[in-house]
Structure 1
Amino acid sequence: MPNNAPAPAASDSLRLRRLVVPIYGPTVLISIGMGAIIPLIALSALDLGASVTQAAIIVGLIGFGQLAGDLPAGALAQRFGEKRVLLAACVVEAAAMIVASRTGSLWVLAACVFVVGVCGAVFGLARHAYLSEAVPIAFRARALSTLGGTFRIGSFIGPFIGALLIEQHSFGATYAFAACTSLAGGLLSLTLPDLPDTKHRSPAAREPRRSMWTVLAAHRTVLATLGTGVFLIMIARASRQAIIPLWAESQHLDASTTSIIFGLAAGVDMLLFYPGGAIMDRFGRMWVALPAMLVMGAGFMLLPLSTTAMTIGLVACFMGLGNGISSGIVLTLGSDVAPDEGRRQFLGGWRLCGDLGSVAGPGLISLVSLAFPLGAAAIALGAITWLGVGWLAKWVPVYDPAREPTKVS
């Protein structure tokens, strides 16, 4: 498929290099902190007297916080600008971490976890909106895939630092460490260069203010079509992380073996983010979206056939291959279809589509496994993922800037 996107210029490459530290640095720092505390949230809840069910609900509050924060994040970024919103999200997140490190109340811990989820949505939306505007289209997929890759790198490093802090100090020290990484990320975000329109135009002249619902209604077709594809992508991604440890436990693998399998799969996942972005920029988005979903769907189908640590590990790494090469695909597709007017509000709705999939995937596993064996849930997820292949094959080319588009308004 020919690429009709503009060829990259030397000035564009220089412009992208200027963003490496201020946009990717905060992401690495914050994801390291989040990676350190996420495995501890359930343990903290249990330590405060929660039941296993209550602890699981508290862990899930991060996802619900992200859902609750997606649309307000778009409105806040539109009103105050990305740099201010990034800093505010990091400061509030750090405060929530500090409170969580010192509280003896289960309810306060739950509130802090929810706030961390909301702040994550605000931070994610602001950096997504910034890169959508700041990066030339010829580099867009590589820039956004690298953003996804830096998050994966931080999430991979974070649990090891968290384990070390618990060994040497306490749960509270780990939360305090995460608060420090959030504050450092917020301060580093202040070094972001101003966008051209925010630098040279007065606030009143930059963009007519439109309500969130007006923007989303105006672009309901793309949200209903390509947004549904993103929903299916995120179901596959979230379900992959949920079902592999459940399947390993059902095959009587111990926790340390399961952790090794996860680590190996995460390593494969991290290796492919930049090649995936380069393929999207050169050949088009479909050449990553479809293979990634095909591979993850096949992984779900193969999982019930794996019964040993070796075979489960191979399937997990195979699925990591599909997930890794698709790093940044959701961000890239969102930037491709985001309008110039109301960009931030639109991206809030776009991210809501993805986060709904993140919540729906593990929920689907729970529902299916109530009545059927866990293997049936894996088969069902494989079928849904392959359904997503067909849906994406229909709609990704319609909006792909690497093609001559025939866009649906």
Structure 2
Amino acid sequence: MLKPILWPVLAPSLLFAVGIGAILPVMVLGALQLGSSASFAAAIVGIMGAVSLAATVPAGMLIDRLGDFRAMLVATATAVVVLGGIVAAFIWDSPASLILYTVGLMLFAPVSDVWNLARQAVVAEVMPPQDLAKAMTALGGTQRVGNLVGPIVGAGLMLIFPLWSVFVLSALAAVAAIIIMALPIARIPGYPDRGSAGTEASAHAGDGADISKDPTLAEEVAGHPHKPPRPRLEVRWKAVVLVGISIIALTVARSAQPVVIQLWGIDIGLRESSISLLIAFGAGLELVFMFLGAYIKDHLGRVATLVACLTIFGSGFVVMVLVPSLSGMVIAVAIMAVGNGLGAGVNMTIGADLSPAIGRARFLGIWAIFSNGGKLGGPALISLVITLASLRFGILFPGLFAILGAVWVLIWAKQIGLPGRMRRG
């Protein structure tokens, strides 16, 4: 079932996810080590979200032009260079190190976006509709495995080596992903890796009758033989906006989760390696509930999955505030993991459900605005709330916002019209 995407998408995605999973628990800790305040350390993650938001649509257009696999290769190679710069910020150890570190993370954000959009476009294009939810869940599962393996390996490294060794691990994982994508086994038979000019030209060539029947289109193609007209995206934009608001709530919670765990862990006196292992514990639980999430997406529908994910995930933040202790933190992380595991791949699945057959990469770039908006809003709002109020209020905010997102998508479920309960005939 998943064989067509195993080597070209899932295997390199797993390696890339291990690299990201390794650095995720130390992004805030790295800033603190370089002399940042707690509020600015949280804001750095928000800055990454701002850069991602600004680069979202250009990333989709870049993928549309380069082709999916070429874009993945370019993004991975760029990630290696950026991670090398981040390592240099630690080794250099100067007053400008924090600036270099921040700039490196800002550059890493759009690189990661290109990778994620390209792999999502490949899966949406290659997999048949009946297997799409399972494929997107498997794709989301690679991120969860990365969030499990990466922090565990990173914690082991930090027991022996400095914190920057985790970024070296991430760069090596990206290099391994490049090697796999270059292997013959990673090629999908019959799948052209062309940009929009190639794919859309072939689409028009295979539909000559439509060109002959449409004088305007025929005139445009004749006037621009090397650059066919970019087709209009046939999308239900009202549904996109309505469900996109709940996706913002989900990504606010997801981007806030590692930030609040790191800040709260430092606040109650945990070591960096212990915080990394705690995040790995949550990622392991997510893997367990990921399979239940796949079943819910296929049999109960996308909305039911999103509601369960947001409600349970958001409750974990509330528990962390209500039980201010190490045991409370462990319970809260477990609750978050259950909710986030149920929602594995739900964002990508809904994006694929709403995406058009022509111009899919362009649409997914637009669709990613919602998730990248959440990546910006989560850490930025936490930083603001911590500055104006306290750390506890900063933790509570994303949890309540996620629960409101669940209520929102329930209210508008009929207008959104996503695939629902599977009926047996």
User: Structure 1-normalised TM-score?
Assistant: 0.82
Opposite residue 340 of structure 1, the aligned amino acid is A
CA offsets, 1:106-148, max 9 Å, x none? 3444333222211100000000111111111112111111111
Distance verdict in 2 for CA 1:178–1:243, change over 3 Å: closer
C-alpha deviation, 1:197, in angstroms: 6.4
Contact 2:155 2:274 in 1 (8 A): no
Equivalent residue number for residue 184 of structure 1: 176
**Percent of aligned pairs sharing the same letter:** 28
Opposite residue 273 of structure 1, the aligned amino acid is M
C-alpha deviation, 1:379, in angstroms: 4.7
Q: 2:119 aligns with which of 106, 115, 127?
A: 127
CA offsets, 1:37-61, max 9 Å, x none? 3445556556666666665555554
Opposite residue 115 of structure 2, the aligned amino acid is F
Q: What does 1:327-342 align with in structure 2 at a 5 Å threshold?
A: 327-342=344-359
Give the 3-state SS of the residue equivalent to 1:254 in structure 2: coil
C-alpha deviation, 1:26, in angstroms: 0.7
C-alpha deviation, 1:34, in angstroms: 2.3
CA distance in 2, matches of 1:161, 1:281: 34
CA distance in 1, matches of 2:188, 2:311: 39
Opposite residue 145 of structure 1, the aligned amino acid is T
Equivalent residue number for residue 92 of structure 1: 78
Distance verdict in 2 for CA 1:245–1:34, change over 3 Å: closer
Equivalent residue number for residue 313 of structure 1: 330
Give the 3-state SS of the residue equivalent to 1:114 in structure 2: helix
Opposite residue 362 of structure 1, the aligned amino acid is P
Give the 3-state SS of the residue equivalent to 2:324 in structure 1: coil
C-alpha deviation, 1:247, in angstroms: 4.3
Give the 3-state SS of the residue equivalent to 1:272 in structure 2: helix
Equivalent residue number for residue 36 of structure 1: 22
Q: 1:160 aligns with which of 139, 147, 152?
A: 152
Equivalent residue number for residue 111 of structure 1: 103
Equivalent residue number for residue 400 of structure 1: 418
Q: 2:371 aligns with which of 348, 354, 360?
A: 354
Q: 2:202 aligns with which of 200, 205, 227?
A: 205
Alignment of 1:232 with 2:245, yes or no, is no
Contact 2:152 2:276 in 1 (8 A): no
- Across the aligned residues of Structure 1 and Structure 2, the Cα RMSD in angstroms comes to 3.1
Q: What does 1:258-407 align with in structure 2 at a 5 Å threshold?
A: 258-397=275-414, 398-402=416-420
Contact 1:73 1:126 in 2 (8 A): no
CA distance in 1, matches of 2:132, 2:355: 13
Contact 2:233 2:356 in 1 (8 A): no
Contact 1:89 1:119 in 2 (8 A): yes
C-alpha deviation, 1:237, in angstroms: 2.3
C-alpha deviation, 1:320, in angstroms: 1.2
C-alpha deviation, 1:209, in angstroms: 4.7
CA distance in 2, matches of 1:264, 1:281: 27
Distance verdict in 2 for CA 1:295–1:47, change over 3 Å: closer
CA distance in 1, matches of 2:143, 2:34: 30
Q: Which runs of 5+ in 2 are unaligned?
A: 205-227
CA distance in 1, matches of 2:392, 2:266: 13
Q: 1:254 aligns with which of 260, 270, 274?
A: 270
> How many residues in Structure 1 have an aligned counterpart in Structure 2?
385
Equivalent residue number for residue 4 of structure 1: none
CA distance in 2, matches of 1:180, 1:303: 35
Distance verdict in 2 for CA 1:291–1:92, change over 3 Å: same
Contact 2:236 2:354 in 1 (8 A): no
Contact 2:151 2:277 in 1 (8 A): no
Opposite residue 202 of structure 2, the aligned amino acid is A
Opposite residue 401 of structure 1, the aligned amino acid is P
CA offsets, 1:302-351, max 9 Å, x none? 33321332233112211211111111111111000011122111111111
Q: Which runs of 5+ in 1 are unaligned?
A: 1-12, 405-409
C-alpha deviation, 1:167, in angstroms: 5.0
CA distance in 2, matches of 1:325, 1:353: 20
Contact 1:336 1:399 in 2 (8 A): no
User: Structure 2-normalised TM-score?
Assistant: 0.79
